[in-house]
Structure 1
C-alpha cells in the first residue's frame, strides 16, 4: 500500500497501483525475485512488451485502462477511439490549457506529472533512493567532474505511474546539452521495487544531460527507464534556445522517473513538499505546477 499527499485535495490518499499483485510477488517473494533476475529486468522482456504496446492489437486495452484508473480524457487532444495503439494513448499529448505554466522567472515548476520527493543538502555519496538505500551521484551519471559541482545541492525525484501523463518538460528557459545514454536493467521504479533493489536508479537504463538554466543555474536532468518502458524519447534539440514549459521528451509504456539535481543555494522548495518528503510521503504534482522558487542571490 502506497500513501501519498495530494496537493489538490490536501489529503493523504492511497495509490491505485497498476499491477500491484504482480509487483508484490516479483519483488517480495523468492520465486518472484528469481524470475525478476532471470527475465523481467532484461531488455528483451521490455522490448517484447513494447512491440505489443506499439501494435494495433493493444488498442482494446485503452478504454478499460482509462475507466479503471479514472483518467480524464477531456485533457487529451485525441479521443480514445482515435489512438492507433496503447503506446499512442500512453504518450498522448494534452490540451495546452490542461497544464497551465507559471511563466514568472522566479517560480520553479514541476517538469511533469507524478509523485514528487525532494532531498536538500545532499551528500553526493549518499543520495537517498528510499529509506535505508542510497546511491552515489557519480554512479548515476558516470561523470565525476560534473557530479562534483552539485555537492550540498537539492535533488528532486519525480516518479511517474503508468496512469500519469508521460511527457516531461523543461522547468526554465535555457540551453540543453546533448543527451548521454547509459545502458542498464529494467527494474520497476515503484516504491515496492525501490525498497528491495539497492542502487536501483544506478542499475536501470537511463539518460541524462546538463541543462544551462537561465534562472536556476546548471541543472542535471536524468530520465530513468523501467520495466516495460520500451524507449525514452528525447524531442528537444541540443544547443538550441529552450522556453520554459517546452517538451523535453517522453517515456513509452511503463512507470518511469525523472530526477533533477540543482546546485547549492539556487532554489527554495515549497514547505508542504519538504515536510512530506521528510515524513516519507511523496506529493502528487502536475506538470507546470508551482513547487518552489528561485533564491534571490543568483
Structure 2
C-alpha cells in the first residue's frame, strides 16, 4: 500500500498501483527476484514491450487503462480513439490551459505531474533514495567535478506513476546544456522496488543535463527510466533560450522518475512538502504549481 499526501485536501490518499500484486511478488519473493535479475531488469525486456506499445495492436489497452485508473481525458486535446497506439496515448500532450504555469519569477514550480519527496542541505555521498538506502550524486551522474558544486544544496525527487501525464518541463527561463546518456538496467521505480534495490537510481538507465536557470542558479535535471520504459525522449533545443513551463521531453510507457539538484541557497522548498518528506510521505504535485520559492537570506 502506497500512501501519499494530497496538498489540496490536506489528507492522505492511497495510490492505485498498476500491476501492484505483480510488483510486490517480483521485488519481495526469492523466485521473483531471480526472474527480475535474469529477465525483467534487462534492456531487451523493456525494449520488446516498448515496441509492442508502439504497434496498433496495443491500442486496445487504452480504454481499459483509462477506466481502471480514472484518467481525466477532458484535459487531452484529442479523443482517445484517435491515438495510433498505447505509447501515443501514454506520452500524450495536454490542452494548453490544463496545467497553468505560475510565471512569478520568484516562484519555483513543479516540472511534472507526480509524487514529490524533497531534501535540504544534502550530503552528496548520502542522498536518500528511501529510508535505509542512500546513494551519491557522483555515482548518479558519473561526474565528480560537477557534483561538488551542489554540496549542501537541495534534491527534489519526482516519481511519475504510469497513470500520470508523462512529459517533463522546465522550471524557469534560461538555457539548458546538451544531455548526457548513461546506460543501465530497467528496475521499477515504485516504492516497493526502492525498498529492495540499493542505489536503484544509479543502476537504471538515465539521462542528465545542466539547466542554467535565470532565477534558481544551475540545476541538474536527471531523467530515470524504469521497467517497460521504451525510451526517454528529449525534445528541447540545447543552448537555446527556454521559457518557464516549456517542454523538456517525455517518457514512453512505464513509471519513471525526474530528479532535480539545486546549489546551496538557491531555493526554499514549501514547508508542507518538507514536513511530509520527513514523515516518510510523498506529496502529490502537478506541473506548473508552486512547490517553493527563490531563496532569501
Matched, 1:10 2:10: yes
Partner SS, residue 94 of structure 2: coil
| 1:124–1:150 CA contact under 8 A, matched in 2 | yes
Q: How far does residue 295 in structure 1 lie from its aligned partner after superposition?
A: 1.3
Q: What residue number does 1:272 align with?
A: 272
Q: Distance in 2 between matches of 1:155 and 1:20?
A: 27
Tell me the residue number matched to 2:166.
166
Matched, 1:248 2:268: no
TM-score normalised by structure 2 residue count: 0.99
Aligned residue number for residue 92 of structure 1: 92
SS of the aligned residue for 2:67 comes to helix
What's 1:222 paired with? 222
Counterpart Cα distance in 2 of 1:160 and 1:261: 17
Residue of structure 2 in register with 1:202 after alignment: 202
Does 2:122 correspond to 1:122? yes
Q: Distance in 2 between matches of 1:143 and 1:206?
A: 14
Question: Deviation of residue 8 (structure 1)?
Answer: 2.1
1:154 corresponding residue in structure 2: 154
Q: Does 1:32 align with 2:32?
A: yes
1:137-191 CA-partner distances (Å, limit 9, x unpaired): 0000000000000000000000000000000000000000000000000000000
What residue number does 1:43 align with? Answer: 43
Q: 1:136: Cα distance to partner?
A: 0.5
Output the CA distance in 2 between the equivalents of 1:212 and 1:96.
25
Q: How many residue pairs end up in the alignment? A: 297
**Alignment RMSD (CA, Å):** 0.6
Query: Could you list the per-position Cα deviations for residues 246-283 of structure 1 after superposition, in whole angstroms to 9, with x for gaps in the alignment?
Result: 00000000000000000111111111100000000000
Supply the distance in 2 between the matched residues of 1:148 and 1:140 (Cα, whole angstroms).
13
Matches of 1:135 and 1:220, distance apart in 2: 16
Partner residue, 1:54 = 54
1:60-94, Cα deviation, whole Å (9 max, x unpaired)? 11010001100000001111111000000000000
**Structure 2 residue ranges without an equivalent (≥5):** none
Query: What per-residue deviation string (whole Å, max 9, x for no partner) do you get for residues 200-237 of structure 1?
Result: 00000000000000000000000000000000000001
SS in 2 for 1:210: strand
In the superposition, the TM-score normalised over structure 1's length comes to: 0.99
Q: Name 1:76's counterpart in structure 2.
A: 76
**Structure 1, unpaired ranges of 5+:** none
Given that 1:78 and 1:92 are in contact with CA atoms closer than 8 Å, whether structure 2 keeps it comes out as: no
Task: Summarize deviations over 1:117-150 as a string: whole Å, max 9, x none.
Answer: 0011000000000000000000000000000000
1:9, 1:163 → 2: CA distance? 20
Q: Which residue of 2 aligns with 1:261?
A: 261
Q: Secondary structure at the match of 1:96?
A: coil
